[in-house]
Structure 1
Amino acid sequence: MTEATPHSRLRSWTYALRTTNPPPGAVEAGRVDAGTRWIVVSRAAVLPMTVVSGLVAALLAVHVPGFDLLLLVLAVAGITLAHVANNLMNDLYDTTSGSDTATYPRALYAPHPVLSGLVTKRTLLVAIVVVNAADLAILVVLAIARGWPVVAFAVAGFVLSVAYTAPPLRLKKRGLGEPDVLVVWGPLMVGGTYFSATGTIGWAVLLASLPYGLLCTTVLMGKHIDKIPFDEPLGIRTLPVLLGERRARATTLGLMVAFYVLVGVAVLLGAMPWAALVVVLAIPRLLKVWPRFRRPPPDEPPPGFPVWPLWYAALAWVHVRQAGALLVLGLAVGAIIPLL
């Protein structure tokens, strides 16, 4: 076996971060290095969604009296670790309960951590304990600095993350997983990070958290639309299963439009700076995604498409990536202008 070089490892990590997959053939050939392995197992490719929530909070908070950069950095690290822990816990629970199988999408669009042999259940459990312990240490520091509201934000996020798949609530199976994501990636992550950085919070911050929370929800909606043929026979009643594919696709497009509307409302009410309106530059991307969302998925994946059978999730992610980046840009401009 050819020894991996730093350059080949970097290429492998970059590919995994772009696609949630190791390079083609790497698993079968036993050529997955440790870095690539944990990028795939932790689903690090989707962690930018959480980092953007943290950046939204940071840019809203930066000029607020009492702003503390160190506490902000700790809070962003905390929500990112919480996302990693959630990914790991979902995979462990779904494997243990039998929901994840070799023919279920989780094992088709990317190697399943356990089923593919990337890690054992024991290793996954140890990783969960380590990540949650690190997150708890951050929470203790933030709670000492800012008080009990930080604990309330963290506990609410943890409960909703666990309840997403685990009993007794199993929100995903009851059509409540999608609202769960809106609340977690919106008010809880943005609001909790903002409070950690400033020690205060108000209605304007919660309003400003909703547009990006909606964007994140569109990705989950797309993913659950892709999984309707697999979830419905198993009695997993996600919101797209309850709505049906056509209405779920229309609802997802409605959420994408609502993102722009909410940004406009937040600007009009003073919850966001006027520069946030730069998000309109993502509308051409939405217009490219729109007709594909209106049609059934193709029978076969396009050449080189890395996450099949996910189709609508990938389309939503293409829009979220640009719209979210423009939102951060607009908020950054809004934060810089007062300094000039």
Structure 2
Amino acid sequence: MPAAAATRLRPALPVVLWHSVRPRSLPIAALSSVVGTLALLPAQRPEPLIAALCLVLAVLLQCATNVLNDAEDSRTGADDFPAAGSSLAMKAGWVDASGARVIALACFLLAALDGAAIVVLVQKPALVLLGAAAVLAGWAYTAWPLRLAYRPLGELASALPMGIGIPWGTAAAQTSSVPAAVWFAAIPLALLTAAILHANNARDRAHDASVGKRTLATYLSPRGVVLEYQALLILGPVLLAFAVAFQRIPVWTAIAIVPGLRAIVVAGRASVDLDARGWTVLLINAVKLHQLTALALCAGFLLSVI
């Protein structure tokens, strides 16, 4: 297609930007931040302005990481097959790898400005270190020199910042002492975040290995791939049940165990015979379980103040 024709077909810049950040994945960061805020209840009162800024920061960091991931995968050929999970903007040719890097850098810059505003408002200079670590984690996930997603560290590099870092950082910005409830709410979300990435890597394992992207799934046997997915789904509700039973989180948060029962059913559907389509279905299920678990935790914390 001639360049002029491609330009005519390219939508307006806001549309390109929106589809570059993979918007369907953004609730993962957003809900993790909201859980971090509401987990302060009932003992402490959240700070609405700081909570909102933390929410925006979490989303900006995920946007930056998503776009940079697509840019780097485009450069290495990791997204060069039909089932690849790159953004619509990349698939449609609205933005190339260089353009995606510019978008990612802009998101990182906005995140840094947001983080600076939080530090100034709460007068906690130590949060600068947490923010710097978050930006570094987002960059190092797929970019040179670490490329953590290209090693057997992808699940860890995704789960720690997204599942634990965001809730803990959100809470830490609003209180001098982060309650244990934040940890017990965050870890199940971290496990589900890892399950989402693992399902993605399980689907892509053959192609990833062919282009040198050595994720954990490429090292495991087919049975090991299945067992990891099942463990990541099942451990979360087990931990939540423990936390409720030993009063580490409010009793109302027990409603978050309900999605956990669904997780057990989904885990049972994983098998060594699944093709790319089957793993895509399990990936979507893991995303839904993350959303349902986070929403249930939020509801439980809110009900605890009634």
TM range (shorter): 0.7 to 0.9
Q: Of 135, 156, 165, which residue of structure 2 is paired with 1:188? A: 165
For CA contacts below 8 A with separation 6 or more, give which structure has more relative contact order: 2
Q: Of 293, 296, 299, which residue of structure 2 is paired with 1:329? A: 296
**1:132 Cα offset (Å):** 1.9
Corresponding residue of 2:107: 131
Corresponding residue of 2:80: 102
Instruction: Tell whether 2:56 aligns with 1:80.
Output: no
Please give the TM-score of this superposition, normalised by the length of structure 2: 0.86
CA distance in 1, matches of 2:188, 2:59: 19
CA distance in 1, matches of 2:110, 2:53: 11
Instruction: Tell whether 2:212 aligns with 1:235.
Output: yes
The answer to whether the 8 Å contact 1:278/1:327 transfers is no
CA distance in 2, matches of 1:149, 1:133: 19
Corresponding residue of 1:248: 225
Instruction: Tell whether 2:249 aligns with 1:314.
Output: no
Q: Of 40, 43, 48, which residue of structure 1 is paired with 2:27? A: 48
CA distance in 2, matches of 1:323, 1:68: 25
**1:55 Cα offset (Å):** 1.6
**1:311 Cα offset (Å):** 3.6
CA distance in 2, matches of 1:136, 1:287: 39
CA distance in 1, matches of 2:156, 2:245: 25
**1:164 Cα offset (Å):** 1.5
**1:101 Cα offset (Å):** 5.0
CA distance in 2, matches of 1:31, 1:138: 30
Please give the TM-score of this superposition, normalised by the length of structure 1: 0.78
The answer to whether the 8 Å contact 2:185/2:297 transfers is no
Corresponding residue of 2:128: 151
Residue 143 of structure 2: SS of its match in structure 1? coil
Residue 227 of structure 1: SS of its match in structure 2? helix
Which runs of 5 or more structure 1 residues have no equivalent in the other structure? 1-26, 299-308
The answer to whether the 8 Å contact 1:289/1:316 transfers is no
The answer to whether the 8 Å contact 2:63/2:107 transfers is yes
Corresponding residue of 2:3: none
2:77 is aligned with what amino acid? S
Percent identity between the two aligned chains: 21
Residue 225 of structure 1: SS of its match in structure 2? helix
**1:244 Cα offset (Å):** 2.3
Q: How many residues align?
A: 299
Counterparts of 1:297-308 in structure 2 under 5 Å? Answer: 297-298=274-275
Residue 293 of structure 1: SS of its match in structure 2? coil
| Cα RMSD after superposing both structures | 2.7
**1:262 Cα offset (Å):** 1.1
Which runs of 5 or more structure 2 residues have no equivalent in the other structure? 1-5
CA distance in 1, matches of 2:86, 2:147: 23
Q: Of 266, 269, 277, which residue of structure 1 is paired with 2:254? A: 277
